[in-house]
Homo-oligomer: A and B are copies of this chain.
Amino acid sequence: MSWAIFGILVSLVSFGVAAYFYYWVKSLPTAEGSISEIGNLIRKGAFTFLSREYRILSIFVGVVSILMLIFFPQPLWKGNILTNLGMVIAYILGSVFSGLAGYIGISIATIANVKAASAAREGLAPSFMAGFRGGAVMGMAVVGTSLFGASILYIFTNDPNIVLAFSFGASSLALFAKAGGGIYTKTADIAADLIGKVELEIPEDDPRNPAVIADNVGDNVGDVAGMGADLFDSNIAAIAAAIVIALPLGQIDLLFCFASLGLLASIIGVLFSKVGENGDPNAALNRGTYITCGIFTVFTLAATLIFNLEFRLWVATIVGMVVGVIIGLTSDYFTGDDKKPVKYVAEASKSGPAFTILSGISYGLLSSLPSLAGIGAASLLAYKICEPLGEGYPVMGISMAAIGMLSIVGMIMSNDAYGPIVDNARGLAEMCGLGDQVLEITDQLDAAGNTSKAITKGFAIGAAGLTVIALLAAFREIVFEYTGELVSFDLMDPLVLFGALIGTVVPAVFSAMLMMGVNRNSQLMVDEIHRQFDTIEGLREGKEGVQPEYEKCIDIATVGAIKELIPAGLTSIIITLIIGFVGGVKAIGGFLSGNILSGLLLAMLMSNAGGLWDNAKKYIEAGNCGGKGSDAHKAAVIGDTVGDPFKDTAGPSINTQITVVSLVSSLAAVLFITYSLF
C-alpha cells in the first residue's frame, strides 16, 4: 500500500505545480484594446457550451447511476446493495473528476490564449512560455487527478471493480465530451473556412466572419476540454486494467510505483521546458518529451534495483514507452511538412481535389502499418519477456507496456493543450489587430503546435490500443474469477467470430455518426452566415462599428453538438449490451477484439490523413505548388475540410469509444454470464 500513498503524494505535487503555473500565467500582462473583450466572448462561449453539455451529461450520469445501482456488478436481488452502491459512488466520482479536468482546462486555456497573444509583442520566448505553461496546468491537473483518484479508491477499497467503475465514469464522460467538443469545433471551423477562405477570400480569423468566435471557442471545448477528458480516461483505464491483472500476482506496488514515477518525470520535464529567444518551439516541445522519457527510464530502473522489483516487468514497461515514441515518430513522418507524403499530396493537388483526397486517404491507410505493427510487436515482446515469470505475468507485461506508453502522458497532455492555446492566441492577434510581428510569432508557435499534435495523437491512439488489450485481459480475468473458467476467445468459435464481425463495424458506425453530425451542423451554420451577410448592412465591406452576430453561430454549434453527441455515444454502448446479452462473454471477447482492430485502423487513418491534408494546405500556402489562391491551394483547402472532422472529431474519439465499450463489458461481465441467450 505504501506505493499507492506515494502516488497520492506525487499527485499532490502535480496539483501544486498546476496551481503555480495557473497563477504564473494569470499574472502575465494583457494587451490593451479589444483583446480582453474578445477573449471574454470566447471564454463565455466555452463555459456556456460546457455548462449545457454538463447539464445533459448529468442526466445521463444520473440514469446510469440508477441502472448501476440496480444491476452492477450483480442485480440487487442477487447481490449486495453495498457493493452496488460503492460502484455507483466510484462511477459518479469518475465522471465528476473527468468533468473537473475539462473545467480546469477551459479555465486556464481561455486565460492563457489572451496572455500568449499579449506576450507575443515581446517576442517568441515569452509567448511560448505563456502557451506552454497554460497547457501544462491542464497536463498536471489531468494526470494528477487520475492518479489521485485511482490511488485513493484503491487504498480505501482494495477492490479493482471499484477502480473500473471510476474509470467507466471517466470514460463515459470523455466519450461525450470528445464527441460533443469534436462536433462543436469542426462545425465552426469548417463553416468559418468555407465562407471566409473559399467564398469571401478574407483571412482566417477575420472579425467580419460571424463564425470566427465560435471557431475559437471550438478550439477550447474540442481540443482542450475534449482531449483532457480523453487522456484522463486513457490513463485511468490503463491503471484500472493493470490493477485487475496485478492484484492476483501481488504486483500492485510495482504498478503504483511506476505510474507515480511517470507523473514525477513529467513534472520535471514540464518544469524544465523552455525555449530560447530565437529557439525553435517545435524542438523545445520534442526535447521536453525526450527528457521526460529519459527521466522516467532512469527513475524506474533505479526503483526496480533499489526496491528489488520485478526486472522483467520493468523491461516490458520501457518497451511500451519506446514503441510509443516510435509510433509518434511515424505519425510525424506521415504528417510533417518536410516529409515526402505532405509534399506528394501538395503536388497531387495540382491535378485537382480528387487527387488530394485519394492520395491523402492512401497515405492515411499506409500509416496504419507502423502503428499497428508497433502495438503488435510491443504486446508480443512484453508478453514473451514476462513469460518466464509464470502464469498471469505475460498479460501483466502487456498491461505494463500500456502504463509505460502512458507514463509520460503528463508531458504529452501539456504539449497537446499548448496547441489550441496558441491557435487561439493567433486568432486573437488577428481579430484585435496586434500587428504583423505578433502574427508571425503566433504563426510559428501554431505550426509547432500542429506537429506536436500529430505526434501526441499517434501516441494517444497507440496507448489506447495497448490499454484496451489489457482491458480485454482484465475482462477475461473477471470472468475467470466469477466462473472459475479461463474462457478462450477462439476465432473459430462462431460466437467469438460473430462478435468480432459486429465489433469491427462499431468504430465505423460511430465515426460515421460523428462526421454526419459535423456535416449537418456546419451546413446550418453556413446558412446562418449567409443570412448575416445578406441582412446586416456594411458587414461584408467591414464598415466601422458593424459587428456580426457572433452569438447566433455559437448557439448553432452548441445546440447542434449537444444534440448529436448522445446518439453517437449511446449507440456503441447499446450495441455492446446487445452483443453481450445475445452471445455472452465469448461474443464480447470477439466484439472487443474486432473493435480494437478496426478502431485502431480507422483512428490512424483519420488522424494521419487529416493531419496530412492540413499540413499540405499549409505547405502550399507557404508558397509551394503555386501558393495561395492557386488551383492546388483550392484543392488542398477541400482536402483540409474533409480532414477536419477526420482528425479532430472522429479519429481521436475512436480510442475513447473503444475504451468505453471495454469498460462496459468488464462491468457487465457477470450479467452477461448469467443472462445471455447463447
Q: Which of A467-515 contact B (CB under 8 A)?
A: 469, 472-473, 476, 488-492, 494-502, 504-505, 508-509, 511-513, 515
User: Which of B395, B512, B641, B642 contacts A366 (CB under 8 A)?
Assistant: B512
Where chain A touches its partner, the secondary structure class is: helix
Residues A355 and B519 in contact, CB atoms below 8 Å apart: yes
Bound-complex Cα distance A590 to B379 (A): 14
Bound-complex Cα distance A526 to B355 (A): 12
Q: Which of A580-610 contact B (CB under 8 A)?
A: 583, 589-590, 593-594, 597-598, 600-601, 605
Residues A508 and B590 in contact, CB atoms below 8 Å apart: no
Residues A358 and B501 in contact, CB atoms below 8 Å apart: no
Q: Which of A375-393 contact B (CB under 8 A)?
A: 375-377, 379-380, 383-384
CB distance from A585 to the nearest CB of B (A): 12
User: Which of B368, B491, B526 contacts A589 (CB under 8 A)?
Assistant: B491
Q: CB-defined interface of A355-381 with B at 8 Å, one 1/0 digit per residue?
A: 101110111011011001101110110
Does chain B have a CB within 8 A of A164?
Answer: no
Residues B601 and A504 in contact, CB atoms below 8 Å apart: yes
Q: A355 — which chain B residues lie within 8 A by C-beta?
A: 519, 523
Interface centre among A372, A505, A515, A598, by most B CB within 10 Å? A505
Does chain B have a CB within 8 A of A198?
Answer: yes
Residues A492 and B472 in contact, CB atoms below 8 Å apart: yes
Q: A358 — which chain B residues lie within 8 A by C-beta?
A: 515, 518-519, 642, 645
**Which of A97-105, A346-354, A446-454, A656-664 sits within the interface?**
A346-354
Q: A502 — which chain B residues lie within 8 A by C-beta?
A: 372-373, 376
Residues A601 and B505 in contact, CB atoms below 8 Å apart: yes
Residues B498 and A361 in contact, CB atoms below 8 Å apart: no
Bound-complex Cα distance A447 to B657 (A): 40
Known: A366-B512, A516-B359, A519-B359. A498 touches B376 (CB 8 A): yes
Bound-complex Cα distance A395 to B494 (A): 9
Q: A638 — which chain B residues lie within 8 A by C-beta?
A: 352-354, 357, 638
Q: A490 — which chain B residues lie within 8 A by C-beta?
A: 488-491
CB distance from A390 to the nearest CB of B (A): 16
Instruction: Give how many copies assemble into the complex.
Output: 2
Residues A380 and B494 in contact, CB atoms below 8 Å apart: yes
CB distance from A324 to the nearest CB of B (A): 15
CB distance from A376 to the nearest CB of B (A): 4
A382: nearest chain-B partner, CB-CB:
B494
Does chain B have a CB within 8 A of A398?
Answer: yes
Residues B495 and A380 in contact, CB atoms below 8 Å apart: yes
Q: A301 — which chain B residues lie within 8 A by C-beta?
A: none
User: Which of B476, B512, B515, B678 contacts A492 (CB under 8 A)?
Assistant: B476
Known: A362-B516, A519-B355. A492 touches B473 (CB 8 A): yes
Q: CB-defined interface of A33-54 with B at 8 Å, one 1/0 digit per residue?
A: 0000000000000000000000
Does chain B have a CB within 8 A of A560?
Answer: no
A597: nearest chain-B partner, CB-CB:
B504
Known: A361-B515, A594-B597. A353 touches B351 (CB 8 A): no
Bound-complex Cα distance A488 to B586 (A): 14
Q: A375 — which chain B residues lie within 8 A by C-beta?
A: 501
Residues B601 and A508 in contact, CB atoms below 8 Å apart: yes
Residues B362 and A523 in contact, CB atoms below 8 Å apart: no
CB distance from A150 to the nearest CB of B (A): 24
Bound-complex Cα distance A259 to B492 (A): 24
Does chain B have a CB within 8 A of A194?
Answer: yes
Q: A594 — which chain B residues lie within 8 A by C-beta?
A: 597
Does chain B have a CB within 8 A of A652?
Answer: no
CB distance from A571 to the nearest CB of B (A): 10
Q: A496 — which chain B residues lie within 8 A by C-beta?
A: 491
CB distance from A182 to the nearest CB of B (A): 14
CB distance from A596 to the nearest CB of B (A): 8
Bound-complex Cα distance A497 to B398 (A): 12
Does chain B have a CB within 8 A of A190?
Answer: yes
Does chain B have a CB within 8 A of A569?
Answer: no
Q: CB-defined interface of A433-468 with B at 8 Å, one 1/0 digit per residue?
A: 000000000000000000000000000000000000
Bound-complex Cα distance A365 to B583 (A): 24
CB distance from A148 to the nearest CB of B (A): 31
Does chain B have a CB within 8 A of A149?
Answer: no
Q: A395 — which chain B residues lie within 8 A by C-beta?
A: 492
Q: A398 — which chain B residues lie within 8 A by C-beta?
A: 494
A366: nearest chain-B partner, CB-CB:
B512
Known: A351-B194, A362-B519. A505 touches B384 (CB 8 A): no
Does chain B have a CB within 8 A of A394?
Answer: yes
- Interchain residue pairs with CB less than 8 A apart (18): A348-B523, A354-B641, A357-B357, A358-B519, A361-B512, A363-B512, A366-B508, A366-B509, A369-B508, A373-B502, A376-B498, A376-B499, A377-B498, A379-B497, A394-B494, A398-B494, A497-B593, A504-B601
Complex A-B, nearest 7 residue pairs according to Cβ-Cβ distance, in ascending order: A376-B501, A354-B641, A383-B494, A365-B512, A362-B512, A365-B508, A376-B498
